[in-house]
Structure 1
Amino acid sequence: MREEAATQPFPLADAPAPQELHFLSLAGARTVVTPGLAAVRHALADAHQQQRFLCVLGDAGVGKTFAVHTTALTCFPDAHLLLRLGARPGPADLRAHLHHALGLKGAPPTDPAATDSLIRRVLSAGPRIVVVDEADRMPDTCFEYLRFLHDDLPGGLCVVLIAGQRGERALRAQQMLHTRTAAWLTLLPIARDQLARIIFALHPLWHTVAPDHLWMLDGHFAHGSLRRWALLTHHVQRALATAGALHPDPGLLRQVIRRIDTSRRP
């Protein structure tokens, strides 16, 4: 009974994420309620209620962006504004992206004050969630602009800032976040004792693979990263199609790892 419970798949979300949110738009991928996704759901609901900032941190590939975007899209479908900024954004970029995300017609006015007036008017109509990925790349002027919007709106503004673990220092250096942030949430790689249950739920391809083989794959390649598991699943799907096989065997899995794990090559 203990072994059966250890391999019982994690639950799936009632509202699955759109396929394009999965890394590589992985065909057949399912939306697993991992500890990270559950934590983001709780934290985002709280930050949305308070209309405050939420900082989501973690190493590359642990599922930060997926968890935030999935939660925003499925739990707050009419409130979220996903901003995909460039490498070196400025306040003008934030204005332009907000203008577009809010569905305002035409190009943003050339006068920043006029643009801000339009943005504030729409934002004040109801609670919103502004999501900024790779937020640690923003300069101080962008943080100041988000502070301005948050403080200017009567009920505040929920802003989710996503950053890698190395970007935490950049976010914590922003004094304005210290009194406006509902939570600092760090997502972790998949724990070994949860690995088989999460990967079994992630994709049907892994249903016939024994837990010890999953642990081997994780130790040699994925290292608890959901992104790397999606990448591995994608390549195993292609290998199965080429071989005309239905289920992966240990030999095929080892071949796939050798082919895609460039970190082990000189």
Structure 2
Amino acid sequence: MTITAPGRGPFSNPQFYLDLPDAQVVATDALLQTQDTIRETIEARAMSVIYGDAGLGKTFATRAALAQVDPDLLLSLEFARSRPGPKDLREELFTQMRLAGRMPGTPTPFDRLLLSALPRRPYVIVCDEAQQYRRQCFEFVRNLWDNCSTGRPAVVFVGGHEAFETLQSDPALASRIYIRQEVLAMSEEEVLKVVPLIHPVWAGVDAQLVRHIDTVMADGSMRQWAKITYHVLEGLRRHTGGQVDRPLLDWALARC
């Protein structure tokens, strides 16, 4: 399987925070590392974890890196409710795999059905917002992976530090993690390179102003940069003929 990135071939754009218009996918260090993690995990049919603080682009990078995977092979276990249990995971897998018949009513036959279906195709199970998972959910996924002796799915856990700590605290889980990738905030050097590329509004803006925003508000967070960009665009709409200068940026920062 081949996953491509900006500058390396076609790359489908995932959804930006706030549906930011005209935003561009940029090959940040985190995105490229995530691409490598996911590619290697899929090739090895292994289990890996991508983790870090909120707003640094874990989910965005994961979805971008998975853009080249057949969507019929992606099983995304993300839930609106907090603290899902194994029952939620079983039902979601049943639905996304389009299994025939009625859902089994008890865990043992349900797991038997899943274990017979998973090896049929090279599935990729993506457990996003995994910090919401109960420990039993991690154990359930591990048991599925362990018992698919042939045709194991690739599994990618994506979440905050709590997800990583849960995986690390259990020797049976920790020993099965193939790659541990921590997503970090962008450094100042990377911010100055990346921000002018993520949206046309930043093209040509003085580096000192970019540095000021990152220092007082964004702190290397892609989500924060998306937010401030949205407010800057709103400021430009309100002030026809305006430009991205310190007064406009101070106005935008005051709204964040």
Fold in common (TM above 0.5): yes
Alignment match of 1:50 (pick from 44, 52, 55): 44
> Identity percentage over the alignment?
29
Is 1:235 aligned to residue 239 of structure 2? Answer: no
Which 10-residue stretch deviates more, 240-249 or 222-231? 240-249
State the SS of the aligned residue for 2:203.
helix
Q: Tell me which residue corresponds to 1:91.
A: 86
Is 1:103 aligned to residue 87 of structure 2? Answer: no
Q: For 1:125-160, what per-residue CA distance to the aligned partner results, in whole angstroms no more than 9, with x for missing partners? A: 122211112213322221221011101111322111
Instruction: Check whether the contact 1:34–1:198 (CA below 8 A) recurs between aligned residues.
Output: yes
- Measured in 2, the distance between the counterparts of 1:73 and 1:174 equals 31
Aligned residue runs from structure 1 range 131-146, under 5 A = 131-146=126-141
Q: Tell me which residue corresponds to 1:6.
A: none
Q: Tell me which residue corresponds to 1:201.
A: 197
Alignment match of 1:150 (pick from 141, 145, 170): 145
Q: For 1:72-129, what per-residue CA distance to the aligned partner results, in whole angstroms no more than 9, with x for missing partners? A: 2234544222111231111100011112222335763323344334433332112221
Structure 1 residues 27 and 107: alpha-carbon distance in aligned structure 2, compared to 1, 3 A threshold = farther
Is 1:26 aligned to residue 49 of structure 2? Answer: no
Number of residues of Structure 1 aligned to a counterpart in Structure 2: 250
Which 10-residue stretch deviates more, 104-113 or 138-147? 104-113
Q: For 1:3-29, what per-residue CA distance to the aligned partner results, in whole angstroms no more than 9, with x for missing partners? A: xxxxxxx9556434445x211121111
Instruction: Check whether the contact 2:94–2:114 (CA below 8 A) recurs between aligned residues.
Output: yes
State the SS of the aligned residue for 1:182.
strand
Using the TM superposition, give the Cα deviation of residue 239 of structure 1 relative to its aligned residue in structure 2, in angstroms: 1.5
Using the TM superposition, give the Cα deviation of residue 39 of structure 1 relative to its aligned residue in structure 2, in angstroms: 0.5
Instruction: Check whether the contact 1:57–1:186 (CA below 8 A) recurs between aligned residues.
Output: yes
Using the TM superposition, give the Cα deviation of residue 255 of structure 1 relative to its aligned residue in structure 2, in angstroms: 0.8
Which 10-residue stretch deviates more, 98-107 or 181-190? 98-107
- Measured in 1, the distance between the counterparts of 2:97 and 2:35 equals 23
Q: Tell me which residue corresponds to 2:114.
A: 119
Normalising by the residue count of structure 1, what TM-score does the alignment of the two structures yield?
A: 0.86
Instruction: Report the RMSD for the aligned CA atoms in angstroms.
Output: 2.1
State the SS of the aligned residue for 1:31.
coil
- Measured in 2, the distance between the counterparts of 1:103 and 1:178 equals 31
- Structure 1 gap ranges (5+): 1-9, 261-266
Instruction: Check whether the contact 2:50–2:181 (CA below 8 A) recurs between aligned residues.
Output: yes
Q: For 1:156-214, what per-residue CA distance to the aligned partner results, in whole angstroms no more than 9, with x for missing partners? A: 22111112135432221122222211110011111111112111111111103111110
- Structure 2 gap ranges (5+): none
Structure 1 residues 172 and 107: alpha-carbon distance in aligned structure 2, compared to 1, 3 A threshold = same
Is 1:71 aligned to residue 71 of structure 2? Answer: no
Instruction: Check whether the contact 1:12–1:31 (CA below 8 A) recurs between aligned residues.
Output: no
Tell me the amino acid that sits aligned with residue 151 of structure 1.
D
- Measured in 2, the distance between the counterparts of 1:256 and 1:164 equals 28
Q: Tell me which residue corresponds to 2:207.
A: 211
- Measured in 1, the distance between the counterparts of 2:7 and 2:240 equals 29
Q: Tell me which residue corresponds to 1:40.
A: 34
Q: Tell me which residue corresponds to 1:182.
A: 178
